[in-house]
A and B are shown apart, each in its own frame.
Chain A
């Protein structure tokens, strides 16, 4: 029994430990650059395996793009310089968070619209149920017992 207990605790600890699968082992010279590097490599799409970020992809093109990001940051370029560089070559598709424009506005608006629809449905259901309570003249169990 105790053995199972210990084992399960160990399994839980193992699952909770922050294991990082080292696709990318790049170390930037300063913590600040490292933070920006990680941010950028997680928001740029690997164009070969289109639903992965370049930070997580083992393909060689992703490695080339990570090298590009690291070099540009080390050369003192801003995050936007890096994004613009990538967009100029690969298009908005390389950004997981595309800029708001007339072409991409529906991408950004859809969640809001869906939320509004959900809220409207919720309000409607609540009102209907409240109305049902008002109409309900049947004595509930407690009323019967106390009378």
Chain B
């Protein structure tokens, strides 16, 4: 009896360790952002197709903003594009896009192919520095920035209307 006790105990222990590991493992690669609750990173950059105009992170102040990091090379961005267009129609937030590592003409063509531009303004991140500052590790990523310029929520992966209503709207309604 006793000689089975130790292996059995070891097995149970290992099972517990692995179960905890599985439960806490970054679910589908989603890692909680340490930026939640922090002010949005400060940056200034040119707009898509308009190198004379700038987007400044100070513009986050004063209204709720959906900040969406996308790229034409990103397949999941195609999946979420209709959701972004639908959200834009509802006029609940200012829509700011960050075009991550793209050429401007390619990005413009891509937006046309996807059925239009959902964004009020599109900032560009040609060399990827802004995305690093935001802790972005895979497009698409969508941030919710409150009128004080603080990051309230981050959504990784293709955004859907359900996710918008479940994870974003309650936060806007609770605090505005």
- Give the interface of A toward B (CB within 8 A): 47-48, 50, 60-61, 64-65, 68, 87-91, 93, 110, 117, 121
CB <8 Å contact, B31 and A110: no
Judged by a CB distance under 8 angstroms, whether B17 is at the interface is yes
CB <8 Å contact, A47 and B132: no
Which of B32-40, B46-54, B111-119 lies at the interface with chain A? Answer: B32-40
Per the CB 8 Å criterion, the residue count for chain B at the interface is 21
A64/B128 contact (C-beta < 8 A), A48-B137, A91-B31, A93-B31 known: yes
CA distance A90 to B129 in the complex (A): 14
Interface SS of chain A: helix, strand, loop or mixed? helix
Per the 8 Å Cβ criterion, residues 130-169 of B in contact with A are: 131-135, 137-138
A47/B137 contact (C-beta < 8 A), A64-B128, A110-B17, A121-B6 known: yes
Contact sample, A vs B, 13 pairs, CB 8 Å cutoff: A47-B31, A48-B137, A61-B132, A64-B129, A64-B132, A65-B132, A88-B34, A89-B34, A89-B135, A91-B32, A91-B33, A93-B31, A117-B10
CA distance A117 to B33 in the complex (A): 37
